[in-house]
Structure 1
């Protein structure tokens, strides 16, 4: 009888745990993936106290207007340089290409970079880094700008999906060292897509 009572209590406990375990929030695959990462203690940039109460990041609503096709112009003769960060760390990058695109009737150009150390790592050989600033910074989005990760395209065009723009880890935890967005990559427009500022509603 005691054994039966013990098993019954265990089953009740497990059921209560299942009910407390909420599904990962997000309207798109990107949103679900980043929320899952932030909930995972082994991968989350959040401070422990923030992660305990974390339910999901705030996002702009998905908007296909911010999925643009850009002309990808390779800049092969660029010299490697040390990109400034929020700490004394100076990672080595190279300007890999220029991206030209039209958004809401206006033409913009962004520089895209390749981290020289990261390209040596397996799985990151074709990884490119696209940091940018826009007129939502310090309002709806993080003041320091946002990042987008893309792969080297096989043609002279590339798709930029601003709905996948995410914050530097420094937006959540000051123990991280984050690249500072070059002023050249300031977009004089509002990019109402991607991750919003943390803690603002």
Structure 2
């Protein structure tokens, strides 16, 4: 009887350890942990089955506070709807929302931020703004098609500024699986800078 009890205790401990290992999500920040968790979730992940089987976590640049900047927002009034090219024949409808001006490593930059017209139809995404960009790392250390940053319109303060955290940038789904259709970064949104922040290029197996 004692042997059975001891054996059951050992099994319970091992199961608890395995459960904790399964729940453990890698990431240096809450953002990284949440992104890794969604990629490990088979119901949400953009990864191919063969990549998901060996997936342990995305590769990120070290978190660097110098890549968190305050940008001045200049809104664009009466911007026309246009078709943004994608990685497939599909076109996505967007409007230019405004210009973001900021300084990074002592140099001034400007990016155009967009609003998806499809997102306006969904209450959950109506406040989302879309910021795609490329930089000197694109095609080498980061995905060649550029990276994305999600910005909320509620991030604006009374001074007309938006905080941009390049540590919280991510790759489009098509960086992991070519079945997806992803907006292509407009040429005007190439940064003449080296943004070693956020997610790195994904190494496929």
TM over 0.5: yes
Q: Out of 152-161 and 55-64, give the one that drifted further.
A: 152-161
User: SS of the counterpart of 1:21?
Assistant: helix
Q: Aligned residue for 2:165? A: 161
CA–CA distance in structure 2, aligned partners of residues 56 and 122 of structure 1: 31
User: SS of the counterpart of 2:25?
Assistant: coil
User: SS of the counterpart of 1:129?
Assistant: strand
CA–CA distance in structure 2, aligned partners of residues 150 and 19 of structure 1: 33
Q: Aligned residue for 2:74? A: 73
Q: 5+ residue gaps in structure 1?
A: none
Question: Which TM-score applies when normalising by structure 2?
Answer: 0.90
CA–CA distance in structure 1, aligned partners of residues 58 and 162 of structure 2: 27
CA–CA distance in structure 2, aligned partners of residues 143 and 188 of structure 1: 15
Number of paired residues?
197
**Corresponding position: 1:33 with 2:37:** no
- The ranges of structure 1 where at least 4 consecutive aligned residues each deviate by more than 6 angstroms after the TM superposition are none
CA–CA distance in structure 2, aligned partners of residues 118 and 16 of structure 1: 42
Q: 5+ residue gaps in structure 2?
A: none
Q: Note the aligned Cα RMSD (angstroms).
A: 1.9
Q: Aligned residue for 2:83? A: 82
User: SS of the counterpart of 1:147?
Assistant: strand
User: SS of the counterpart of 2:51?
Assistant: helix
For residues 124-180 of structure 1, give each alpha carbon's deviation from its aligned partner in whole angstroms, at most 9, with x where no partner exists: 111000000000011110111000000112431000000011001011000000000
Q: Aligned residue for 2:93? A: 92
- 1:15 Cα deviation after fit: 4.2
> Per the alignment, do residues 80 and 53 of structure 1 end up closer, same or farther by CA in structure 2, a change over 3 Å counting?
same
**What aligned pairs does 1:102-181 form with structure 2 within 5 A after superposition?**
102-152=103-153, 153-155=156-158, 156-181=160-185
Question: Which TM-score applies when normalising by structure 1?
Answer: 0.92
- 1:20 Cα deviation after fit: 4.7
For residues 25-73 of structure 1, give each alpha carbon's deviation from its aligned partner in whole angstroms, at most 9, with x where no partner exists: 0011111010000000111110111111111100000101100000000
User: SS of the counterpart of 2:85?
Assistant: coil
